[in-house]
Amino acid sequence: MIEDVVVEPMTEEFILWRCLHGGPLSRDTIDQWSSGDKTPWKRYRDRNTAFLVKLTRTYGACAILARDGDRIVGHLRFYPKSVCCKEGAGGLCLQQDFPASPAEGFSDSDFLEPAQIEDRTLVVHCLMTGSPQQKENPYQRKGIGTCMVNALIEWAKVNGWERIEAGSFEDLPIIYDITGSAGHTFWEKMGFRLVDRHPHPDLQDRSRFGEFIKALEEQAKSIGIPPERATDRLVMCLDLT
């Protein structure tokens, strides 16, 4: 099964406008959701599709996809750092509202053309294989994430980018199980180096993320990592020049 997975840049032919939290997606299923689901999917679809299409037309791609037959089973989303820093970008999460996500109408703003960008850095926003929330995930720990990162590195070199940055965490099981991220060891194996470490801005509020923070701290203690380091954001960087 895994040997049949195809890894390639996302094109306008199929825009993956939401993530794989509910499992793999295809043309037939991406616009389907439970009638009782209160998530504003139609609004997210319109907002995200416009944003991702603009990125694709401006820069050539903004995601690497892993495809098993007609199903998308993995994705790696990446954005120019200049886009991440724009007013209205928010956290660029596609399944939340601003400020965690792009503001409504963000895609209507002016994006720098590639030749105008001075800081030629790509930022990895989300890396996911299969669904981290499914009890059984046959696509995890099969090398698909590694293949997607390698594809990004090659794409970035061909298209004149000079660096790739990725946020990471300590190597805790929960990071791989339920988030669209990875521990720092994964990135180190791909040639990335640690360039910064600071408290993760989204993981300092126990009133919002108390259970998740507690799980991070407990897992950290169990393997000898100081619990206060469990909520740190580790910035990894790969120089391409």
pLDDT value of residue 1: 57
pLDDT value of residue 207: 86
Q: Does the residue 84 lie in any domain?
A: yes
Nearest to 2 by CA among 136, 144, 215: 144
DSSP string, the chain: -GGG-EEEE--TTS---S-STTS-B-TTTTT---TT--S-HHHHHHHHHHHHHHHHHHHS-SEEEEEETTEEEEEEEEEEHHHHTSTT-TT--TTS-TTTSPPTTGGGSPPPPGGG-SS-EEEEEEEEES-TTSS--TTTTSSHHHHHHHHHHHHHHHTT--EEEEEEB-S-HHHHHHSS--BHHHHHHTT-EEEEEEE-GGGS-HHHHHHHHHHHHHHHHHTT--GGGTTEEEEEEEE--
Q: Does the residue 6 lie in any domain?
A: yes
pLDDT tens-digit profile of 110-149? 999 999 999 999 999 999 998 766 667 888 888 999 999 9
Q: Average pLDDT, stretch 155-180? A: 91
Sheet holding 193-199, edge to edge: 6-9, 63-68, 71-80, 121-129, 163-168, 232-239, 193-199
Q: Over the chain, what is the mean pLDDT? A: 94
For the record, the structure tokens of 232 come out as: 């740190």
pLDDT surpasses 70 at 35: yes
DSSP string, 31-43: T---TT--S-HHH
Residue type, position 72, single letter: I
pLDDT value of residue 185: 95
The CATH number of residue 76's host domain is: 3.40.630
Q: Does the residue 134 lie in any domain?
A: yes
Query: pTM for the whole thing?
Result: 0.93
Q: Does the residue 193 lie in any domain?
A: no
Bridge partners, 77 (sequence order): 63, 126
Q: Does the residue 228 lie in any domain?
A: no
Q: Does the residue 189 lie in any domain?
A: no
Q: Does the residue 227 lie in any domain?
A: no
Specify the number of domains making up the chain.
1
Higher per-residue pLDDT: 181 or 214 = 214
Domain that holds residue 91: 2-161
Q: Does the residue 83 lie in any domain?
A: yes
